[in-house]
Structure 1
C-alpha cells in the first residue's frame, strides 16, 4: 500500500465514521423498537455497520446513501427475527405492549393526529402491528425517534411529501382501527 492508498482509505474511514455518527442513533432506536432487546439491537446495528463498511465505496456512489444503509439495517433486523423464529424463541411482537407505544401515542396526541381518548395502549399496539411495514417504519421514525421528514425520506428512499403522505395514511388507519377519526374533536 502506498501513501496515496492510505490517504484514500483513511478518508473513507473518516467519512464512514461520520456517517455512522449521524445515523447510528436512529438505527439503534429503530432496532430497539423492532427487537425490544437492547443487547440484540446493539448486535444487529454492529452487524449492519460491518456490512455498510464492506460496501462503503459502492454506497457512497449511490444517489441516497442513507437509503442503502437503511436497507442493510432492515435486512439484519429481519435476519435476527428469523433466527429467533428458527430457535423457537418468542418474537418481540408476541409479548406485552412495549413502552415505546406510549411515546408514539403521546407524540401523535400532541400533534393532534389522534385524540387522547382513542383506544387503549394494547389496541394502539395491535393497530401499529397491522400497519404495512413502510407505514409502521414512518410512525416509529417520526413519533418514537422524532426524526425530521427529510431524514425519514432519505432512509425510505422517498420525498418529504411521500413521508407526509405515508404518515397521513398510517394515522388514518390507526384512528380507524381505534374507532375514531384522526384529530376528531380537536
Structure 2
C-alpha cells in the first residue's frame, strides 16, 4: 500500500468512526431497551462490525443511517433469539424499568395516556402491540430523547412522518390502556 492508499483508508475509517459516534447513543439506547446491558453492548459492537464490513455499500445508499439501523435491529433480534434458544429466562420483574417512566411521563404530559394503576407489564404489552415503526418512534423519541430530525434520519423518513407516527402510537397506547385518543387540532 502506498501513502495515498493509507490516506484514503484512514479517511474512510475516520468517517466511519464519526458516523458511529453520532449514532452510538441511539443504537445503545435501543439495544438497551431489549437486552441486558452486556448483551446490548455486544449487539451494538457486532452491528458496528457489520456496518464497517458493508461501509462502502452503505455510503452509496440514500439513507446510510437507516441501513445501519436495520443492521442494528437484526443484531438485537439475533441476540434475543439466542437468549430464547439458550433457555434464558426473561429479565426478572423488579423495579419499574426506566423506559416505562420515560414513555408514561411523556405521554401523560401530552395528555395521551390515562393515569392508571395498570402495571408496567400492561404498558409493555401495549408497546409490543405497536407496529414496528410506531414502536421504534416511541423508543427513539420518548426513551432515548432523540429529536424528530434525528429520528427521521435513522428511519429514512420525514420529520412530519415521525410526528404523525408518534401521535398514532400514543393513540394506540391510550386505547390499549383504557384511555381515549388525542384530540386532533385542525
> Which piece of structure 1 moves more, 122-131 or 62-71?
122-131
CA contact (8 A) 2:113 2:177 kept: no
State the Cα distance separating 1:91 from its structure 2 match.
Answer: 3.9
Alignment of 1:1-186 (within 5 A): 1-35=1-35, 37-92=36-91, 95=93, 98-117=97-116, 119-183=118-182
Any stretches of 5+ residues in structure 1 without a counterpart?
Answer: none
Distance 1:69 1:149 in 2: 18
State the Cα distance separating 1:133 from its structure 2 match.
Answer: 1.8
> Which piece of structure 1 moves more, 112-121 or 141-150?
112-121
CA contact (8 A) 1:118 1:178 kept: no
SS in structure 2 opposite 1:80? helix
Cα deviation code 1:66-99 (max 9, x no counterpart): 000000000000110111111111245x856533
State the Cα distance separating 1:17 from its structure 2 match.
Answer: 0.7
CA contact (8 A) 2:114 2:177 kept: no
Distance 1:158 1:142 in 2: 14
SS in structure 2 opposite 1:107? helix
CA contact (8 A) 1:115 1:182 kept: no
CA contact (8 A) 1:142 1:152 kept: yes
In the superposition, the TM-score normalised over structure 1's length comes to 0.90
State the Cα distance separating 1:116 from its structure 2 match.
Answer: 3.5
Any stretches of 5+ residues in structure 2 without a counterpart?
Answer: none
State the Cα distance separating 1:117 from its structure 2 match.
Answer: 4.2
Number of residue pairs aligned between Structure 1 and Structure 2: 182
Distance 1:46 1:125 in 2: 26
State the Cα distance separating 1:26 from its structure 2 match.
Answer: 1.0
SS in structure 1 opposite 2:146? coil
CA contact (8 A) 2:171 2:182 kept: no
